[in-house]
Amino acid sequence: METLDSLFYGFSVALQWENLIFVFIGVLAGTIIGMLPGLGPVSAIAIMIPITFGMNPASALILMAGVYYGAIFGGSTSSILLNAPGVAGTVATSFDGYPLAKRGQAGKALAIAAYSSFVGGTVSIFGLMLIAPLLAKFAVSFGPAEYFALMVLGLTAVVSLSDKSLVKGLIAAVVGVMISIIGIDLQTGTLRYTFGVSQLYEGIEFLIVALGIFALAEVFVMLVNGGQKQNQHHIGSLKLNKREVKEMGPPVIRSSVLGFFTGVLPGAGATIASFLGYSVEKRIAKDGDTFGKGNVKGVAAPEAANNAACSGSFVPLLTLGVPGSGTTAVLLGALLIMGVSPGPLMFQDRPDVFWGVIASMYIGNIFLLLLNLPLIPLFAKILEIPRAMLLSLIIVFCMIGVYGLSFSLFDLGLLLGFGLLGFGMRMYGFPAAPLILALILGDIMEKSMRQALQISQGDWMVFIHKPISVTLLGLALLSLFIPVINKMIKRKQKANIEMKA
């Protein structure tokens, strides 16, 4: 009952006309930005941050959340029409979506994607609503030692689950923490790594790094890759027949649940969820061999999973204040700018933010469905925006975002520097997510570590004596071995195949 009352309260927040407008703006902007190949939810959120200056936290988070799941929603459009996923989370969608489009059934694929995304999103908001309060109650007892361990786990999980090299992922994370401690040490007032530059005393604003490493770097990458003009396919009818709807049902529900739990786990986000959903359905299906040739289930499963994971990733963010992915890290950063720090306390002190966001997600998903179905042909036109113009616009968006935050040309220079850093990282296979996560968590990590040691009077055993903290640290260590174990399994499989041959 308590949950229901709270949810009604949430709707009373989310249904205020201004918040309705924000949800609408959020999902619309998210859909459009997510659709453009190369600009994912991180860039979408970072670009939208300046708009939230001066908003109240509940409205701001409602808008940001809308941008996030809108971007995942929109990413499927370019996956299907161009075979160029707009968002990493929609790569799996293109496996069957693009073949469908080639057969002239793009409309059908887009409609399936929209329905599945809607179901996936809605199912997992329900899960978020049930699980988050429980977790928040549990997390109230967390002290600094547990928080420190939790953040270490979040970081190592993100590093180990990125498909790039483990060493490079760890380097990215360490560099991220290094950037985060630049400036005045809040505990002692000591200046660190400022090199006498007064603009660095306050530290480097995370928005500059996020926009640089994601959005601006993307411009350079697109320049180097060159754009291949792709032909768009005719969209065709959006109607689904009864058989298809029946066929889609079970996979969508299964993938929604799977996606939700994948999203809750630190480090695993929409991308992993969509691949999981796809491969599970391919295994279960009687016609698994037609996957990859335009099977409707192959579109439905990843689309349900990635949207479910997206809502699922709000569980750790809202209840613990620890993001589990690059995107939620940027969301957290946006909240911190506004002076809101999510966590078990926010759940108690600011129920309007917590429940307002949850209620707004229900509304946002309905908006997305209503927006996407009739407007699909219109949205497809956005994909025709000339690449040259798009690149220039992205640069200007980044500049405005940073300048609107600090009004300083020095920061614009930093933005360019981080754009080049991000470009280098992309060229040499360093994952960006660990860096941005570390940047957000770095300060808080150091603070928790010091507080924990302050309480224990300098006894380092404090991290080992507490059951929760030691479990989390153990998991963190374990997660670093995942890639190693994976490699061994792959080698074994290879050896087996060769033996058979």
Partner 1 sequence: MMVLKTPNRVMGIIFFLLSIAYLLYAFNIPQFNLTVPVDSDLFPKVLGFMLLVLSFALFFEKDRTEKATVSLKEDQGRPQTDQKITESDQKSTDSTDEGVYQAQQKNHIDHDANNESISRWQQPYMQVICTVLFTVLYIALFERLGFILSTGIFLFGTTYFFGYRRHLINLAVALSVSLIFYFVLTKALNIYLPQGPLTI
**Footprint on residues 379-408 left by partner 1 (CB under 8 A):** 386-389, 391-393, 395-396, 399-400, 403-404, 407
179 vs 238 by CB, closer to partner 1: 179
Please give the residues from 103 up to 162 whose contact with partner 1 meets the rule CB under 8 A.
158, 161-162
164 near partner 1 (CB under 8 A): yes
The stretch near partner 1 (CB under 8 A) out of 202-210, 314-322, 340-348, 413-421 is 413-421
Tell me how many degrees the CA angle 342-41-3 measures, rounded to the nearest 5: 40
**Shortest distance, CB of residue 458 to partner 1, whole angstroms?**
4
- Tokens 């994948």 belong to 262
Classify 38 in phi/psi space as left (phi over 0), alpha (psi -120 to 50) or beta.
Answer: left
Among 188, 198, 231, 241, binds partner 1 (CB under 8 A): 188
Among 413, 481, 489, 496, binds partner 1 (CB under 8 A): 413
Cross-strand partners of 184: 191
Among 21, 427, 485, 489, binds partner 1 (CB under 8 A): 427
432 near partner 1 (CB under 8 A): yes
Rounded to whole angstroms, the Cα distance separating 330 from 150 reads 18
12 near partner 1 (CB under 8 A): no
158 vs 359 by CB, closer to partner 1: 158
454 near partner 1 (CB under 8 A): yes
| Per-residue contact flags (x/-) with partner 1 for residues 311 to 350, judged by CB under 8 A | --------------xxx-----------------------
State the Rg of the chain over Cα. Answer: 22
**Shortest distance, CB of residue 188 to partner 1, whole angstroms?**
4
Rounded to whole angstroms, the Cα distance separating 302 from 113 reads 9
Query: Phi then psi for 366, rounded to 5 degrees?
Result: -65, -45
- For residues 274-290, one letter each, b for 16 or more C-beta atoms within 10 angstroms of the residue's C-beta and e for the rest, the string is bbbbbebbbeebeeeeb
207 near partner 1 (CB under 8 A): no
Rounded to whole angstroms, the Cα distance separating 205 from 127 reads 33
104 vs 429 by CB, closer to partner 1: 429
**Shortest distance, CB of residue 26 to partner 1, whole angstroms?**
16
DSSP codes of every residue in 33-49: HHHSTT--HHHHHHHHG
The stretch near partner 1 (CB under 8 A) out of 187-195, 336-344, 470-478, 482-490 is 187-195
Among 370, 428, 492, 495, binds partner 1 (CB under 8 A): 428
**Shortest distance, CB of residue 242 to partner 1, whole angstroms?**
34
Please give the residues from 224 up to 283 whose contact with partner 1 meets the rule CB under 8 A.
224-226, 267-272
Among 81, 87, 208, 476, binds partner 1 (CB under 8 A): 87
What Cα–Cα distance (Å) separates residue 13 from each residue in 17, 91, 350?
9, 35, 12
49 vs 359 by CB, closer to partner 1: 49
| Spatial contact of 44 and 71, defined as CB atoms under 8 Å apart | yes
Amino acid (1-letter code) at residue 323: P
CB proximity list for 232: less than 8 A, separation 6 or greater:
81, 82, 380, 383, 384
Among 10, 30, 31, 43, binds partner 1 (CB under 8 A): 43
| Spatial contact of 260 and 312, defined as CB atoms under 8 Å apart | yes
175 vs 336 by CB, closer to partner 1: 175
C-alpha closest to that of 256 among 315, 308, 311: 308
The stretch near partner 1 (CB under 8 A) out of 106-114, 182-190, 200-208, 249-257 is 182-190
363 vs 445 by CB, closer to partner 1: 445
Question: 351-382 vs 2-14: helix axis angle to the nearest 10?
Answer: 50
Among 37, 120, 342, 483, binds partner 1 (CB under 8 A): 37
370 near partner 1 (CB under 8 A): no
The stretch near partner 1 (CB under 8 A) out of 287-295, 354-362, 373-381, 453-461 is 453-461
**Shortest distance, CB of residue 409 to partner 1, whole angstroms?**
6
What Cα–Cα distance (Å) separates residue 386 from each residue in 221, 227, 229, 375?
16, 10, 10, 20
63 near partner 1 (CB under 8 A): no
| Spatial contact of 444 and 179, defined as CB atoms under 8 Å apart | no
